[in-house]
Structure 1
Amino acid sequence: MRIAALAFAVLGMSVWSCSQKDLDPFADIKPDESRFTKVTLVEKLNEPMELEVLDNGDVLFIERAGKLKLYDASSGQTLVVGELNVYLEHEDGLLGLAKDPNFEQNHWIYLYYAPLDYQPDVNRLSRFEFKENLLDLASEKILLEVPVFRGCCHSGGSIEFDSNGNLFLSMGDDTTPFESDNYNPIDERQDRPANVDAQKTSGNSNDLRGTIIRITPQPDGTYTIPEGNLFPPGTPNTRPEIYVMGNRNPFRISIDQHNGNLFWGEVGPDASRDSLKRGPKGHDEINLAREAGFFGWPYFVGNNKPYWKYDFEKQESLFEFDPAAPINTSPNNTGIENLPPAQSALIWYPYDESVEFPMLETGGRNAMGGPVYYREDFEASDVRFPGYYNGKLFIYDWMRNWIFTVSLTENFEYDTMERFMPSTVFDKPVDMQFGKDGALYVLEYGTYWRAQNDDSGLYRIEFAAGNRKPIAKISASETTGAAPLEVVFSSEGTLDFDPQDQLTFEWDFGDGRGKSTEPNPTYTYPNPGTYSAKLMVKDQEGEQVETTLEIRVGNSRPEVSVDWGGNKSFYFDTEPIAYQVHVEDAEDSEINQSAIQFSIDFVEGGYDLIGTGHQEEQVVLGENYINQAGCKACHAIENESVGPTYRNVSKKYKGQVEAKAYLVNKVINGGSGVWGERLMPGHTHLEKEQVEEMVSFILGLEDPDFGQDRLPLKGMYEIKSSENPDGYYLIQASYEDQGANGIGPLKSSYQLFLRNHHLMAVSASRFENTAKANADGKNFIRFTEKNSWISFDQTDLSGINKVRLLLNPGNVKGKLEVRLGSPDGELWGSTEILEKKEGIAFFPVQIKVNPISGFKDVYFVLRTDSGVSIWNTFNLETISFER
């Protein structure tokens, strides 16, 4: 028992008699991520959509294919407790779930779904009874049916209740973006399909699509209209249910239960570039409505960036829409012509870096609105979030896999945001909600769109202010090798965040004989076999965790290496380099030379850099690009998803001479008709060279020799100079042995990574008291304190005899030292004392260095007696290692 808890018991005091700050040490201090634990409840779901946490800890959630499931907290089992027959094409299905505010008494839940085999085509909001853990289909009360066009896109479907018992339901614009080049779809031509003009839906005051409605359900299954909606009942050519209109695809919404604020994530259009004829590129939005309003679509995006009124017949831009006085003059509009003033988004961001919100990163976009947290709303459990998050909005992005918390001002304007659990993996979060216990429950959709994903699931994020479980880490000097195999085990990295806890260790080496209580024991496996070594770690209060590591004895992993005749960190000017691939294996009497895979690739950059060293698997550039571009959200290699599998694409185009050029064009510019009616949007933001690698990987699935130009295992390779500072050479070799002594084949890979010898200072490995700056079109490092530094780790200095810098000392009088091993290590070279040159910003400085060979950590350290601050800095733009 903790001392604080004991004191309360002895004094007979109620914990509620103290202030929240007394009970909550993290009321004002941001807790470390290590205090949060992501607990797996259910995995391998089939397109989970929305969840509801019940007061007893059970969790109801829906899957798009029509199933209602229940996670039973007491047993840990997941049960199918109801199923609807739903129309499952495009983005429809079972989309929304909410429990009634009086669920514990009336057992009502609300579902929003697309009924199958029902005419006319509608999406439906219904109330059902949920009793004894079963959905009573016969109890259905249909509150609302929304006519829809079963053709493409944007169904929305999120349901939430406010503290007054009002139900909010979000609906998408039911409009295809592809007919309008992924800008705003306002095609008014009468001979066009019915779903190409969003002025018919989200810009239409007389249509519920593209809106978030607010209604008050009644006990008899009807509803009334609360005061304060956008259009009072009886207003001609309007729907009184509308609370906010002008939405494209408000996929997830939330209500601040303390003040009624409505938040939602708006999934924006796909255009990747601004257009002089059409308007702005696509942005996703996080929106806030304190009262009813019009939020711009299809006339504005983001902070009211205006689109052009566009004549599709004449292909002419007529005028920019005015956010102060938007008008809907479309012949498809059945509502009012003069719309309310457009409201700006709270947060907005495009595919590329956001100027206003750069912390939101880049890439695909699917913004979601999560809950607002108030600690006092939840029971005083051991897992309740701390008061630090009081009043903060949780937002998340389905494509970018992040969660942020947003703080607002007293006037509910944007103030700040910060990443929540940045090192934790979230696989396409699709809904989240705080349970009665104050833990955060997160539903994750998983990698592939329209697929049952192994990485989908239901999770609970718990906070621990008191005693926390230890974190166990296990590693070994060897995990494979010939018998007898001596293994040095390590528990390095094992820790407990409670400083007073002492940990005990229990090892079981998995062969029925070996055990140990040492933190880092050594054990010898005498016989071949596969063994599961287990480490159990226990703290002094009895909390324990365990982790395992597989040890395979009887076959040693092959050793693969490449003798490279040039510098092993950099490439310079065009020159031939001698190389030779070596493979050795203790069990294979003869190395199968044809089984050795060897490649040298020049990579243009723009994606995560690939490190060096021994790996079990060789990197395939095309697949690497596919993974990082998020393409597997719609396509998988083998399993069906939204688009065709890569395997089927490879089969279809096998042997076709023009296949690569054709598919590269398809990926970049988009297209439809080959694999069905659904249109694949263009990917103009991807570099052509990267798309070519992606297509080569796909075509190579059925034709392993496609595009392969096998290099000899010994020879000369001509390195070519490049002006691209981000480009690098990736040299790889791998070999899989034949297995031995009952242990299957093992594979080893060797990688050598050569980067341009002209480096941006911002690409350094580590930084101390420096800042990355972006000003006047330049990216550079600001040294903000005396003795601040940057380092380039494990750099091959062979052949380097000078270092050239491009720098600007600003108002600081000082010098840069180049040191090896540490900031105070061996002095390799230094500039003279430098100071600002009038009329010159950045200027070159050359440092003569002593010849040295081998790999070293290289530090650039600022030495100065001048005052240095964030406003008065020494600045470094580029570094060139030269021969």
Structure 2
Amino acid sequence: MFLLLLTLVISCTAPKTDPHYTEMPEESRFTKITLVEKLDEPMELEVLPDGKVLFIERKGKLKLYDPEGSVTAVVGSLAVYPENEDGLLGLAVDPSFSQNGWLYLYYAPSGPESINRLSRFDFKDGILDNSSEKIMLEIPVFRGCCHSGGSLEFGPSGNLFLSLGDDTSPFASDNYNPIDERPGRAEAFDAQRSSGNSNDLRGSILRIKPKSDGTYTIPEGNLFPPGTPNTRPEIYVLGNRNPFRISLDQKTGYLYWGEVGPDAAKDSIGRGPKGHDEINQAKEAGFYGWPYFVGDNKAYWHYDFEKEISNFQYDPAGPVNNSPNNAGVNVLPPARKALIWYPYDASEEFPLLGEGGRNAMAGPVFYSDTYRKTEGTFPPYFDGKLLIYDWMRNWIFLVTMDDNGDYQKMEPFMPSTTFDKPIDMQFGKDGSLYILEYGTFWNSQNDDAGLYRITFSEGNRAPIVRAFADKNKGAAPLKVSFSSEGSFDHDLDDQLTYSWSFEGDNRVQSTLPNPSYSFESPGQYRVKLSLQDSEGAVSEAFVDIQVGNEPPKVSINLKNNKSFYWEEDNYLHYEVSVTDLEDGSVGKGIEPEEVLVTSTYLEAGYDLVLASEGHQQLFDLPGKTLMEGSDCYACHALDKASVGPTFLEITAKYDGQDVKNKLIGTVIDGGGGIWGDRQMPAHPQLNRDGVGQMIDYILSLEKDGTVGISNYLDTKGSIALDKHGESFGQYILTASYQDKGASGMDPIIGREQIQLRYAKVLAAEADGFQDAAKANNQGSFLIKFTSDSAFLQFKDIDFKGIKYLTFELDPANTSGKLEFRLGSSEGQLLAETPVLSKRDKLDDTDKRWMEVRVNISEQVVQDDVFIVFRGDSKTSIWNGFLLNTVYFGK
């Protein structure tokens, strides 16, 4: 008996040796699985006990995802007021949902009354029963702006929590705290009437105990005991701006929430701190500062909007609300600090969170012993840890607490995985993580909005699957070659089984890695590749194929070289041809004016990024690329209404005006008043040059959304090459044709684009590199070859008229030669330099670069070319052979 007890003690107290108890597993052990996409503003989700997933969309729909068959259906709908930030906002299921079928919705009902409503509904036979609605709470609101909150969650004691925003416009207080006490401003501009008001439910997180009859009671421990004069007993946490997503630790009962903060770009003496977002923790009821404090109780000033003077700075130990719009107590509880806080720019306290736009949200706390163990269950390393995420920055972090429940550390979760505006997440009963993603554009239906599941693989990992097609569109019958190139398995010993389903009916029609298939009938087909390893783990990828309409072929024929121009060139002579299987050709079924031909000139230093907006498929200035990497598209779109004005509205408003510097200042520092009461948040993390490129892009837009271009051209003609001067930028010629569709399939755009660059090309602008390091030396962007057989690659070079090459190079402290090869680094040798060393420069020490010319004896049409270095053993990253430019001479 003693030995048995000893064995039990040892087994309970021995340290866990499984690394998944003590170390964050590598990202490859987590798999993000797409369940459904193309949602319309998804807001909150609930994973049901049977594995189905309920979720809501802001415009009023309740949807159910059924993993059996991967089917998503609309199972309910509410008539909502969907303007601004209102609509169907919150969803929770009763702790006894399996027995009673109750679910709770927080929404803005349609109609003239400005209220938001918390109601309980019956969910019967998989359908929302609207007639069963029991209204639990109605909250008067101002329907003119924002900050609605609306997150619903149950705690471990069966208490229901509801988050409410301050319902206050942030657009008339210079992005600091909105405490405008002037007469007539109370309805929308003084957050002291809500977040600072103990007698108002807005700007707080409520905690109530639902009863079976649809009413509720007040649990003990809320901020203001029932019967306290000038208070609402439902308030658990007061002093919030926009607590958009909340969560409850189901063991400790601690409340967590993300607080979306104000937009000021910098600290201001007399006004207060710059804006911060917060992750908050409430172990018990409390006041969390807004609109008097932010972050770790950084204090605002009492500002007199009438006299435009600052009177005093608020004291977090004894905040006082003396606003004439306050209906609650004057002396508020001491303000509590945030758990985590961060501004637009880099955070001193939490530098891992980066910089940029902000929308902090709180996710769930994980406990492995509360979930049934499955293949996808998260590991014990996550026990007691909080997931936090940011809607704007698209990251997820894992936060560890100490034994007292206080912040200890954070670490990124799946940092290499793409998340598109995560807006809610919850662990299912199987211990895997379900995530709703809102998608790119605010206030829009987004194709990248979806429901996803993240699973963990403790031992064997699911394969990584990739699927591609050599063509995605064409006339019937359409033969397509498919490829699984890039698919692999982390567990290298596994044997992989390929299963292709071409007709969308899950029939396995090929088990080859790279099959071909002929689609005989017009239609839209979703081809699925399932990849299964030897232990049964499966991953899937999809390819969409459109059959019935052959893409048009567009060609630009030039008398000139198609890759380069030279100083002596005056004109570019061109002719555009178009052929389409269904429509015909130019002059024979296709009118010349249906073919859009455009030209433009880009200054040196601009990169081309292909786009497809509307009929034109042109180029984008680098500003569009920069915007796609920022938070611009969260509030703006090309031509769809969103939080801010569309880009086309901005272009039209400032047409012909010299406003670039003004708009740069507005983007960086914030501003408002131009587009109603909406205000541009500050972006102090952006640099002026980058913002200037964004403004250039917006102001260059045409009415149809294409990038600013010269007049449309004829299908045959000449273009003057007279814009480059000494800058030697690029001339761009683009032709596109959108066909008329066929066999019920959508129209398809065909295009070709010619990019002419000056014949003297920087080595650093090559398309490919191997053992060749980019460096910036004395103002020249050069390439350093760091080993024998290092090379540069220039893709698809036209050799028409090219007779020789001139290299600007410096052997530095090594020696070697350059070879000019065709097709690959070991391909046909067209030319080579002699072996060169540092001593070859001694005759001309004043020049930075040697110029070495080599002739090309053979005529080549068009191909990839490789500049290959052949050097000695001294060549290294420290002792390399330098190349500055290559001149393609004729």
**Corresponding residue number in structure 1 for 2:146:** 153
Q: 1:801 aligns with which of 800, 808, 821?
A: 808
Name the amino acid aligned to 2:320: I
Q: 1:402 aligns with which of 378, 390, 395?
A: 395
CA offsets 1:754-785 (integer angstroms, 9 cap, x no match) = 89x999x9x999999x9x9xxxxxxx9xxxxx
**Corresponding residue number in structure 1 for 2:104:** 110
**Corresponding residue number in structure 2 for 1:87:** 81
Q: CA deviation at 1:435?
A: 1.0
Name the amino acid aligned to 2:198: S
Q: Does 1:473 align with 2:489?
A: no
**Corresponding residue number in structure 2 for 1:697:** 701
Runs of 5+ unmatched residues, structure 1: 1-15, 773-779, 781-785, 806-813, 833-844, 867-872
Distance 1:531 1:389, change over 3 A: same
CA contact (8 A) 1:660 1:695 kept: no
Q: CA deviation at 1:494?
A: 2.3
Q: 1:177 aligns with which of 162, 170, 174?
A: 170
CA contact (8 A) 2:807 2:884 kept: no
Q: CA deviation at 1:864?
A: 12
Residue pairs, 1:510-529, within 5 angstroms: 519=513
CA contact (8 A) 2:29 2:461 kept: no
Name the amino acid aligned to 2:93: K
Q: CA deviation at 1:695?
A: 3.8
Q: Does 1:196 align with 2:189?
A: yes
Q: Does 1:747 align with 2:754?
A: no
Q: CA deviation at 1:169?
A: 1.5
Q: 2:721 aligns with which of 716, 725, 729?
A: 716
**Corresponding residue number in structure 1 for 2:60:** 66
CA offsets 1:684-712 (integer angstroms, 9 cap, x no match) = 768345224214325344xx797636798
CA contact (8 A) 1:567 1:798 kept: no
Please give the secondary structure, in 1, of the residue aligned with 2:374.
coil
- Find the aligned partners of 1:264 and 1:443 in 2 and give their Cα distance: 17
Name the amino acid aligned to 1:127: R
Name the amino acid aligned to 1:460: R
Q: CA deviation at 1:161?
A: 1.8
Distance 1:595 1:464, change over 3 A: same
- Find the aligned partners of 2:277 and 2:120 in 1 and give their Cα distance: 31
- Find the aligned partners of 1:182 and 1:803 in 2 and give their Cα distance: 54
**Corresponding residue number in structure 2 for 1:165:** 158
**Corresponding residue number in structure 1 for 2:304:** 311
Q: Does 1:423 align with 2:417?
A: yes
Name the amino acid aligned to 1:387: P
CA offsets 1:63-92 (integer angstroms, 9 cap, x no match) = 333333333444544444444443333322
Name the amino acid aligned to 1:699: K
Distance 1:740 1:225, change over 3 A: closer
Name the amino acid aligned to 1:38: I
Residue pairs, 1:445-456, within 5 angstroms: 445-456=438-449
- Find the aligned partners of 1:270 and 1:791 in 2 and give their Cα distance: 48
**Corresponding residue number in structure 1 for 2:35:** 40
Q: CA deviation at 1:541?
A: 5.7
Q: CA deviation at 1:678?
A: 5.8
CA contact (8 A) 2:241 2:291 kept: yes
Q: Does 1:432 align with 2:437?
A: no
Q: CA deviation at 1:370?
A: 0.9
**Corresponding residue number in structure 1 for 2:93:** 99
CA contact (8 A) 2:176 2:274 kept: yes
**Corresponding residue number in structure 2 for 1:835:** none
CA offsets 1:236-292 (integer angstroms, 9 cap, x no match) = 544343332221100000112222222111112233444455333333222222333
CA offsets 1:117-173 (integer angstroms, 9 cap, x no match) = 476x43333333434334444554444333322321111111112212222221101
**Corresponding residue number in structure 2 for 1:144:** 137
**Corresponding residue number in structure 2 for 1:601:** 602
Distance 1:517 1:416, change over 3 A: closer
Distance 1:139 1:736, change over 3 A: closer
**Corresponding residue number in structure 1 for 2:48:** 54
**Corresponding residue number in structure 2 for 1:3:** none
Distance 1:44 1:487, change over 3 A: closer
**Corresponding residue number in structure 1 for 2:844:** none
Name the amino acid aligned to 2:25: K
CA contact (8 A) 1:126 1:143 kept: yes
Query: Please, which moves more after superposition, 135-144 or 472-481?
Result: 472-481
Distance 1:554 1:112, change over 3 A: closer
- Find the aligned partners of 2:280 and 2:733 in 1 and give their Cα distance: 47
Name the amino acid aligned to 1:600: Y
Name the amino acid aligned to 1:211: S
Name the amino acid aligned to 1:599: T
Residue pairs, 1:667-682, within 5 angstroms: 679=678, 681=680
Distance 1:879 1:287, change over 3 A: farther
CA offsets 1:479-525 (integer angstroms, 9 cap, x no match) = 78999999876432122334333235577999xxxx986645789x9
Residue pairs, 1:60-459, within 5 angstroms: 60-74=54-68, 76-117=70-111, 121-137=114-130, 139-411=132-404, 412-420=406-414, 422-424=416-418, 426-459=419-452
- Find the aligned partners of 1:154 and 1:544 in 2 and give their Cα distance: 40
Please give the secondary structure, in 1, of the residue aligned with 2:335.
coil
CA offsets 1:568-589 (integer angstroms, 9 cap, x no match) = 89x9xx9999877786778898
- Find the aligned partners of 2:333 and 2:349 in 1 and give their Cα distance: 26
Distance 1:380 1:714, change over 3 A: same
Q: CA deviation at 1:190?
A: 1.8
CA contact (8 A) 1:646 1:698 kept: no
Name the amino acid aligned to 1:618: L
Distance 1:229 1:819, change over 3 A: farther
Query: Please, which moves more after superposition, 139-148 or 98-107?
Result: 139-148
Name the amino acid aligned to 1:696: S
CA contact (8 A) 1:802 1:882 kept: no
CA offsets 1:512-563 (integer angstroms, 9 cap, x no match) = xxx986645789x999999989685654466575655759897784455999
Q: Does 1:618 align with 2:625?
A: no
- Find the aligned partners of 2:74 and 2:63 in 1 and give their Cα distance: 4
CA contact (8 A) 2:620 2:697 kept: no
Please give the secondary structure, in 1, of the residue aligned with 2:138.
strand
**Corresponding residue number in structure 2 for 1:808:** none
Query: Please, which moves more after superposition, 340-349 or 243-252?
Result: 340-349
CA contact (8 A) 2:29 2:457 kept: no
Q: CA deviation at 1:40?
A: 1.3
Q: CA deviation at 1:791?
A: 11
CA offsets 1:185-212 (integer angstroms, 9 cap, x no match) = 1111123242211122112233221111
Distance 1:215 1:747, change over 3 A: same
Name the amino acid aligned to 2:35: T
- TM-score w.r.t. structure 2 length? 0.72
CA contact (8 A) 1:482 1:556 kept: no
Please give the secondary structure, in 2, of the residue aligned with 1:461.
strand
**Corresponding residue number in structure 2 for 1:840:** none
Runs of 5+ unmatched residues, structure 2: 1-10, 504-508, 776-780, 798-803, 826-831, 840-846, 857-863
- Find the aligned partners of 1:555 and 1:114 in 2 and give their Cα distance: 47
- TM-score w.r.t. structure 1 length? 0.73
Distance 1:550 1:452, change over 3 A: closer
Q: CA deviation at 1:465?
A: 3.7
CA contact (8 A) 2:598 2:710 kept: no
Name the amino acid aligned to 2:618: Q
